[in-house]
């Protein structure tokens, strides 16, 4: 943990509440959550199914907005931003790794990695392919770059998804059950990649129900029925 990170947390949640309304009635997924996460921290969010883990991740990534409370990432109060502003901000600030990889099936691996660069225009067009190659090398699937997602194994797809999450060099990477669909050996490889990211100065938040993974993180936030335990 760097000295600066102690001075200014990267993520600040204050009294965040999220209520969903369904035909069955209202349901509080998050109840008064307040927390801070510093730069370069490796945090796991754990809890049982329905405890509010994914909802909390959605709050931090701006995928969803709180019913009440504040979510501040860096100097941005997410709840005040429009959907379009959030998309642009997220593309450059947060890399997301999904449980089901969520690669675009009609794009090759390298094209999937280049896609966020195309949308956010942080890197010149001429450098994008080179950068995508370097990220694929970093996650160890450069030789698979021209293949389409449906021809890759689960582990390879998740590596590609991680490379895509790093495309715009975001300071924060969020992973939702990143090893949920992988065998234990592959899960271990993925976790090694995450640790490398921490070494490279990234902040990493992993949502998981795997206690072993959680134990390898520098900090664990446990959710029970929408509250931090």
Partner 1 sequence: MFASRWRKLARDLSVNKMRTTFVVLAICIGIFGISVVSNSYSILMREMDKNYMNTNPASATLVTNQLNDSEVQKVRNLPYIKDAEQREKVVGRVQTGENEWKDIWLYVIDDFNDIRLNNFTSESGKAVPGKGEVLFERKALPLAKAVVGQSVNIRVPGGKPTTLELSGSVHDPGLAPAWMEGYAYGYITQDTLHLLGETPDISELKVLVSEDAMNKQHIQDVTAQLKASLEKDGYQVTHIEIPRPGKHPHFDQMATLLFLMEVFGLLALLLSGVLVANLITAIMEQQTQQIGIMKAVGASSLQIAGLYQAMVMVLTVTAMLASIPAGIIGGRGYAWVAAEILNFKIFSYQIPHYVLLFEIALGLLIPALAAIIPIGKGSRITVREAINDYGIKQEKYTNDTRDFLTKTFKRLPRPFILSLRNTFRKRGRLIFTMLVISIGGTGFIVAMNIYASMYNTVDERINAFQYDIQVEFDQPQRPELIENTIGKIAGVSGLESWGGASISRVYKDGTTGNSFNIMAPPSATKLLTAPPMYSGRWLRPDDENAIVINQRVLSSEPDIKIGNEIILRVNKMDTRWTVVGISKELMGRPGSYANSEYLSKVLHKEGYARNAVIVTDSHNPSSQAAVAKRIERDLADQGIQISSMIKIIDYQKALEDHLLIIATFLIVMSVLVIIVGGLGLATTISINTLERTREIGIMRAIGASPRSLTAIIVTEGIIIGLLSWMVAISLSWPLSKYISYKFGMIFFEAPLEFAASASGIMIWFAIVIVFAALASFYPSWKAIKMPVSAAISYE
Strands 94-97, 172-176: parallel, antiparallel or unpaired by DSSP? parallel
* 16 touches partner 1 (CB under 8 A): no
Write the CB contacts of 210 (distance below 8 Å, at least 6 apart in sequence).
179, 187
* 87 touches partner 1 (CB under 8 A): yes
Opening angle at CA 16, ends 50 and 67, nearest 5: 85
Q: Which of residues 94-113 bind partner 1 (CB under 8 A)?
A: 96, 98, 102-107, 111-112
**Closest CB to partner 1 among 1 and 125?**
125
At 195, list the tokens. Answer: 């640790």
Interface residue with partner 1 among 38, 40, 51, 61 (CB under 8 A) is 61
Task: Say how far apart CA 171 and CA 95 lie, in whole Å.
Answer: 8
At 9, list the tokens. Answer: 């947390």
We find the least distance from the C-beta atom of residue 208 to partner 1, in angstroms, to be 18
Query: What x-and-dash track marks residues 123-142 binding partner 1 by CB under 8 A?
Result: --x---x-------------
**Closest CB to partner 1 among 39 and 164?**
164
Cβ count near 200 (within 10 Å): 11
**Matching residue, tokens 């994914």:** 54
Which residues of the shown chain bind partner 1 in the complex (CB under 8 A)? 23, 58, 61, 63-64, 83-84, 87-88, 90-92, 96, 98, 102-107, 111-112, 114-116, 118-120, 125, 129, 164-165, 167-168
């Amino acid at each position: 943990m760097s000295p600066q990170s102690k001075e200014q947390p990267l993520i600040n949640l204050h009294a965040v509440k999220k209520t969903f309304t369904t035909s069955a009635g209202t349901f509080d997924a998050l109840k008064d959550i307040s927390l801070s996460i510093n730069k370069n921290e490796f945090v796991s969010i754990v809890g049982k199914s329905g405890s509010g883990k994914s909802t909390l991740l959605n709050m931090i990534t701006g995928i969803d907005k709180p019913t009440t409370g504040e979510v501040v990432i860096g100097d941005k109060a997410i709840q005040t931003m429009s959907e379009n502003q959030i998309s642009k901000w997220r593309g450059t600030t947060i890399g997301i790794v999904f449980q089901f990889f969520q690669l675009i099936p009609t794009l090759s691996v390298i094209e999937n990695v280049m896609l966020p660069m195309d949308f956010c225009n942080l890197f010149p067009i001429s450098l994008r392919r080179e950068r995508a190659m370097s990220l694929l090398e970093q996650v160890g699937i450069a030789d698979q770059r021209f293949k389409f997602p449906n021809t890759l194994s689960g582990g390879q797809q998740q590596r590609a998804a991680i490379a895509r999450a790093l495309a715009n060099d975001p300071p924060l990477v969020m992973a939702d059950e990143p090893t949920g669909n992988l065998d234990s050996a592959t899960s271990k490889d993925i976790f090694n990649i995450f640790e490398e990211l921490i070494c490279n100065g990234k902040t990493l938040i992993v949502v998981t129900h795997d206690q072993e993974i959680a134990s390898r993180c520098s900090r664990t936030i446990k959710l029970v029925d929408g509250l931090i335990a």
